[in-house]
Structures are given as structure tokens and as C-alpha cells.
Amino acid sequence: MIWETAIEQFRHFLNLERSLSPNSIDAYLSDINKLSQFISDQYPEVTPDSVSGLQLKEFLAYLGSLGISSRSQARIISGIKAFYRFLLSEDLIQQDPSALLESPKLGRKLPDTLSLPEIDKILNSIDHSTPEGTRNRAIIETLYSCGLRVSELISLRLADVHADIGFLRVRGKGSKERLVPIGSSALKHLDLYLTLVRVKVTVKPGSETVVFLNRRGTGLSRVSVFNIVKDLVKTAGIKKTVSPHTFRHSFATHLLEGGADLRAVQQMLGHESITTTEIYTHLDRDYLRQVITEFHPRS
């Protein structure tokens, strides 16, 4: 078995049986390619089915020497384990060399969020007199109102907008669909964009059903949305590092601060596990401080 063949078979498995998104597949394959490159350089005679656990540990030590973070190492280990579980399930190996690999301990990093005044500042910095401004207002409103990932935003289709009932149909990770309520302000600005701006764009073939388009008539890319957010944050004079994902974090945080049910937020975010959503329960520091001040006997 050669590395190229094993990796290609793994790619087919991720695509056809796991139904992962192209971005997720690329991430998995990138990690396995790092491993294959290291093994080929250090042990040219070793193939995927003859790698030892010790060699995998050497690879992890090599990653550490490059200064790769613990979080990235943990992701790479997860990819390696998935690769060897696949080979084992296909009877291409007799024993899983990654079985004893342990991920580094990770501290829980709380995501950055925006306050309501900061979000208002960003929205107020948009020039609504231009077509791009009308579109960008709809983008920010939708990101924040629905807590979407950037990949979910750019994959929205016209048929996914159910304005009559105030919901969007969203395709999340693993092509899983969910219905997410969209607020009245976001719905208003989305309607303005669709009826005043998008209808005037000459749409390129293949993008006819895409909601958010660039001026050339094709769907926006992830990088385009990142740049839109970056420019708006700079114009608003906000010094925080803000990405499209920051609006998703803010959506969840503000809902929970307002008393929303954790399970409902989990469903709207499209989290498979509620433990992923629980991180947002740690964010309301002001409320925690207030509780200590009011109720702790030695506060």
C-alpha cells in the first residue's frame, strides 16, 4: 500500500460515506499529507500499513518542534485517528497504530464577542447609499440575527429564505439542515437587498439561486465576507479582532444572557453536542460578578 492510494481512498470515504464538506475533507487530507511527508522523509520504506505507534509519536514531537499549537496538534491527531480507523474498517491494516495516541490537554478558550453598542456601531458605519452597502448590511444582520457560520451564509439559496414564516433553512456541517428564525430587522434588510440590489445584478451561470452575490454576479467567497467584516470593523473604529464568526459568538452569548434556553440555542447554532454550546454560559462575567456581590457573605 502506498500513501497516495491510501489517502485517495480515505478522501472517497470522507466524501461519499461521511458526506463531509469540501473544507472539512481538505483539512483531514492536509493533516494526513503532513504525516505521509514526515514518514517518507524519515522512513522511506514505511508504508501506511506498516507505520508504528512510536513513529506516530515522533511525528507529533516533530510538530511540537515546529511551534504548532496544542489545539492544532489535537486536530491533527484526530485526523490521524480517523485515517487509521478507516484503514482498519476496510481490513487494510490489522492493528491501529494510533490507538494509544493522546491529544494534548487543551484549555477552554472563551470566544471574543461584541457588545450591543459595538454591533450598532458596525451597522451604523455602513454606507447604505451604495448597492454594496445595502448588501453588507443584510450580511451583518443575517450573521448576527441567525448565528450563522460564514460557510452557511455564502451557501444560502433563495429558496432557503422563508420570509412568510420568518425562518431560514440552513445547511450546516455534514450537510445537516436546520431551520433558524430570522429577526425582523435582518429580514427587512435582507428583503431590501433582494428587491433593490440583487435583482439588478447580471448573475453568472451557476449562481442563479445564490442569495449573496458580488458585483460580478457570482457567489461571495469566505475570504470576501472576512474582508467585508474587517473593513466595516475598521470603519467603525473597533479595536477588537473581529471575524464573521464573532457575530455567531455574540448571537449565542446575547441570547443566553437574556435568559434563552441552552437547548434552543444549541439547535439554532447547529451544534451536535450541547457541551459545545455550554462554552457560552461562561461568558456573562458581569452577571457572575453581580451574583457574587449580592449574595456571597464575604463579598
Residue 274 to residue 282: CA distance in whole angstroms: 14
Cα distances (Å, whole numbers) of residue 181 to 145, 167, 195, 201, 209: 8, 4, 21, 27, 21
Set 11, 85, 230, 271: catalytic member:
271
Contact assessment for residue 217 and residue 203, using Cβ atoms and an 8 Å cutoff? yes
Which H or E run includes 15?
none
For residue 228, the Cα-to-chain-centroid distance in whole angstroms is 17
Neighbours of 282 (CB within 10 A): 12
Show the DSSP H helices in 90-183 as ranges.
116-124, 131-146, 150-154
For residue 275, with 0-12 CB atoms within 10 Å meaning exposed, 13-18 middle and 19 or more buried, which class applies? exposed
Set 169, 173, 204, 230: catalytic member:
173
Residues 6 or more apart whose CB falls under 8 angstroms from that of 55 comprise: 39, 42, 43, 46, 97
| 162 is an active site residue | no
Contact assessment for residue 210 and residue 195, using Cβ atoms and an 8 Å cutoff? no
Set 34, 137, 189, 248: catalytic member:
248
Set 18, 75, 169, 245: catalytic member:
245
| 280 is an active site residue | yes
- Joined grid coordinates for residue 286: 458581569
Set 34, 135, 149, 189: catalytic member:
149
| 149 is an active site residue | yes
Sheet of 161-162, strands arranged across: 161-162, 167-171, 177-181
| 222 is an active site residue | no
Catalytic positions are 149, 173, 245, 248, 271, 280
